Structure 1
Amino acid sequence: MNNKTILEKANAAVSEGDHETFLSYCTDNTKWTFVGDRVISGKEKIRQYMADAYKKPPKFDVDYIIAEADYVTAVGTISLFEDDNQWVDYYYCDVWRFENGKMAELRAFVIEK
């Protein structure tokens, strides 16, 4: 599988609430940087984040995906079910770095719509 397909399959899994399949596409030491917010490192910390942030599976609306070398960038909107029991829409740009066919690092730019 190429990196773009891996990201598409991983995002499809998280959209179905299947965090473990999503995580199977990540390296053990995967690192997520939410620019201007926080950095999360390691699969276990990502697992905990997903359990908290994705109480209901997120809804993705991907505008486009660009792949080059070890990087894949996805741009679109994501809807998250928030603590006040409402869906909130965000614009996002995710830049993924891959290592040996796995998602190793994310730099996410997320802004509420």
Structure 2
Amino acid sequence: MGASENKQAIKTMFAELAKGNAQAFLGAMTDDVRFTLIGTTKYSRVFNGKQELLEKLLGPLNAELVDGITITPDNLIADGDYVAMQAHGKAMGKNGKPYNNTYCQVFKFTNGKICEVTEYLDTELVTTVFGR
């Protein structure tokens, strides 16, 4: 796949996720995906593989949100195996605090699937809403 196909894969993945199809997110990734969430928040670390990503980030984070999170891509830049996405998210914490973050995610593709993700975000907001 080329840069334009990789870019379209990201658009499709987030469009499906917005419809409630969470499987579209994980389904676009290799089983051994490496997902890095930057910073020093309670969620910041490197997650190795879909299972760890689901058990240690996506599941716990979703449990703290009222109706999950909607992430809307604002800009996509693709070059070779990489796609960089600027996006904004909208969610509500079960504690009543809004969690409307801004993201830059960098995706690396191999054989048509995402093999690496690095996510940059407002880490202070993560700590404010979800604690340490």
- Name the SS of the counterpart of 1:87 in structure 2: coil
Over alpha carbons, which structure has the higher Rg?
2
Q: Which has the higher helix share?
A: 2
Instruction: Report the CA distance between 1:21 and its aligned residue.
Output: 2.4
Which residue number corresponds to residue 8 of structure 1? 11
**Which of 13, 19, 23 matches 1:20?**
23
2-structure distance, mates of 1:11, 1:46? 17
User: What residue is the counterpart of 2:130 in the other structure?
Assistant: none
| Counterpart in the other structure of 1:87 | 98
Give 1:47's match in structure 2, choosing from 31, 43, 54: 54
Number of aligned residue pairs: give it: 113
Structure 1 position 47, deviation (Å): 2.2
Over the residues paired in the alignment, what is the CA RMSD in angstroms?
A: 2.0
The ranges of structure 1 where at least 4 consecutive aligned residues each deviate by more than 4 angstroms after the TM superposition are none
Give the % identical residues.
26
Aligned pairs for 1:94-113 within 5 A:
94-111=105-122, 112=125
Alignment of 1:26-45 (within 5 A): 26-36=29-39, 37-45=44-52
Specify every segment of 5 or more residues in structure 2 that has no aligned partner in the other structure, as ranges: 127-132
| Structure 1 residues not aligned, in runs of 5+ | none
Shift in CA distance, 53/16, structure 1 to aligned 2, threshold 3 Å: farther
